[in-house]
Amino acid sequence: MPDYSLLAIPAFTILAVVPHAGEGNVQHMKKTLPPAVFATFERAEAAHKNSMESLPLFIAATLSGVFAEKLTRTDVGNAQFSAIFLGIRVLYTLLYVCLALCFYQIYKAAVALA
């Protein structure tokens, strides 16, 4: 049976890269996208950077948990930690990026009502 907490490391790495996937020529995007959409892009970029900053700590916590469980044969809750951490990071990324979408929707409604 695989150690799912170890598999959480590449899963988190993928999660950290996903918001960054839309990066292209930033200056071109700034000129061509509506301001609210570009703001969403910037928030996705910020979520990516935040994830990349926390990646080393997550790897260290996961590996130390794996070593502790293997060497002492004691359950330190590493699988639960990894699952909860990944779940919270998914939620964080969605809420952080989608918050800008809420403001964009308000903007669109304001323009329609004008």
Residue 23: per-residue pLDDT? 61
The pair of structure tokens assigned to 73 is 């044969």
SS3 87: helix
What's the farthest any 2 CA atoms get from each other in the chain? 67
SS3 74: coil
The Cα–Cα gap between 44 and 81 comes to: 25
pLDDT tens string for the chain (114 positions)? 678 899 999 999 998 888 776 566 788 888 888 887 888 888 888 888 999 999 999 999 999 999 999 999 999 999 999 999 999 999 988 888 887 677 778 888 888 998
Q: How many CB atoms are closer than 10 A to CB 81?
A: 16
